[in-house]
Amino acid sequence: MKVPLVSIIIPTYNRSAYIARAVKGAQDQSFSDHEIIVVDDDSKDNTARIVAELSSADPRIRWIKHSVNRGSQAARNAGIKAARGEWIAFLDSDDEWLSSSLEVRLAEAEKHKVKIVYSDCYVEYAATRRRALFGIRPLSGMIYKEILGAPGPMFQSLLVHIDALKEIGYLDESIMSYQEWDTSIRLAKVYAFGFVKEPTFIYHRHTDETISSNPFRNARGYEQVVQKHIVDMDKLIGPKGLARHYIRIAAYFLAGNKYNRVLKYLSMAAGNYLSIRPTVSLPK
Domain architecture of the chain: domains with CATH: 6-205 (3.90.550.10), 215-273 (no CATH)
Report pLDDT for 136.
94
Q: Specify the pTM.
A: 0.92
Give the Cα separation of 201 and 29 in Å (integer). Answer: 11
Report pLDDT for 281.
52
Taking each helix axis from N to C terminus, what angle separates 47-57 and 19-27, rounded to the nearest 10 degrees?
20
Q: Which residues of the chain carry a pLDDT beneath 70?
A: 1, 207-213, 275-284
CB 87 within 8 A of CB 172: no
Whether cis (ω within 30° of 0) applies to the bond prior to 239 is no
Report pLDDT for 211.
41
CB 225 within 8 A of CB 181: yes
Report pLDDT for 283.
53
Burial of 281 (0-12, 13-18, 19+ CB in 10 A): exposed
Backbone angles phi, psi at 54, to 5 degrees: -65, -40
Report pLDDT for 282.
57
Give the Cα separation of 9 and 155 in Å (integer). Answer: 10
CB 125 within 8 A of CB 56: no
In 24-181, the DSSP E strands lie at: 34-40, 61-65, 87-90, 96-97, 116-119, 122-125, 131-133, 159-161
Phi/psi region, residue 221 (left: phi>0; alpha: psi -120 to 50; beta: rest), is: alpha
Coil vs helix vs strand at 195: strand
